Structure 1
Amino acid sequence: MALGGGRQRALLVRLLLGADRVVPVDRLVDELWGDRPPASARTQVHTLVHRVRRGRS
C-alpha cells in the first residue's frame, strides 16, 4: 500500500500504536496539528482515515 503525505503516515503510525484501543478524534487532531489545528481538522482526520482504510494516497 502506498501512503500519501506526512499526515497520513503519522495517522497510520498513531493508530498502529493504539491498536485494539479507541483513539479519540480530538487526540488525533492534537497529535497531527498541535496547538493550532485548522477549523477543518476533524473533517481532515475522517478523510485521512478513509484513505488509509481504502489504501489510497
Structure 2
Amino acid sequence: MNRQEIEDKITELKSDYVRLSADLEKLVYVKGKTEFNEKELARLENEIAALRKQLK
C-alpha cells in the first residue's frame, strides 16, 4: 500500500468507528447487547493504530 492508500483506509476506518460508536450509545441507552459493537470498535482501533505505524 502506498501512503495515499493508507491514509484513505484510515479515513474509512475512522468513519466506521464514528458510526459504530453512535450505534453503541444508542444500544446502551435502550439496554441492548453491546458486545459486538465493543469488539468491533477495539478491532478498528487496532487496525487504525497499525496503519498509522506504517505511515511512520
Q: TM-score, normalised by structure 1?
A: 0.37
Bigger-Rg structure (1/2): 2
**RCO higher in structure (CA 8 A, sep ≥6):** 1
Question: Structure 1 or 2: larger helix share?
Answer: 2
